[in-house]
Amino acid sequence: MAHRNAHLKNGKYLAGVIIIALVTTLLPLGAFAASNSDIKGHWAEGIIEEWLARDLAGGYPDGTFRPNNPVSRAEFVVFLNRAFGVQGGAGEGAVFTDIPETAWFYKDISAAWQAGIVSGYPDGSFRPQNLISRQEAAAILGKFI
């Protein structure tokens, strides 16, 4: 609990940023750094550049950020882990049947699961590629506020 409370110091600022992102579906993440090629002139260019500089967000293998794309469940968890400093312990992974250890988001989903931030579906899956609903995002975000 002390670990979680330490990350709440900047929680209100980050929560505000995340809420804005939820409304505008602005959180594409990936395992690769993005160039600024597709964010120049975008209304959120400044905040995207800040996220990139702080390593809160990344991009896609082709060097794009895709600021208007919807957000997957995996991307959202990765963003929150980076924003709040959630890190997993060694050796214990998530128990989800649809997340192989080779997935780029495996460690982040595992860390969030270990911290009690996320859970899966009754069938044992996490469905990482599904788009995150506002309800799911609010439930996860609520665990940080």
- DSSP string for 85-133: T--PPTT-----TT--TTSTTHHHHHHHHHTTS----TTS---TTSBPP
pLDDT beyond 70 at 113:
yes
Query: pLDDT above 90 covers what percent of the chain?
Result: 38
pLDDT beyond 90 at 126:
yes
Backbone angles phi, psi at 14, to 5 degrees: -65, -40
Count Cβ atoms below 10 Å from residue 77 Cβ, excluding itself: 26
pLDDT beyond 50 at 66:
yes
Query: What is 36-88 written as a DSSP string?
Result: STTTTT-TTHHHHHHHHHTTS--B-TTS---TTS--BHHHHHHHHHHHHT--P
Q: Which amino acid is at 137?
A: A
Q: Which two tokens stand for residue 141?
A: 């975000």
**Residues 25, 71: contact at Cβ < 8 Å?**
yes
Work out the average pLDDT over 11-33: 48
Backbone angles phi, psi at 20, to 5 degrees: -60, -45
Instruction: For residue range 24-65, list pLDDT tens digits in order.
Output: 443 444 434 445 678 889 998 898 888 888 888 877 788 888
pLDDT beyond 80 at 143:
yes
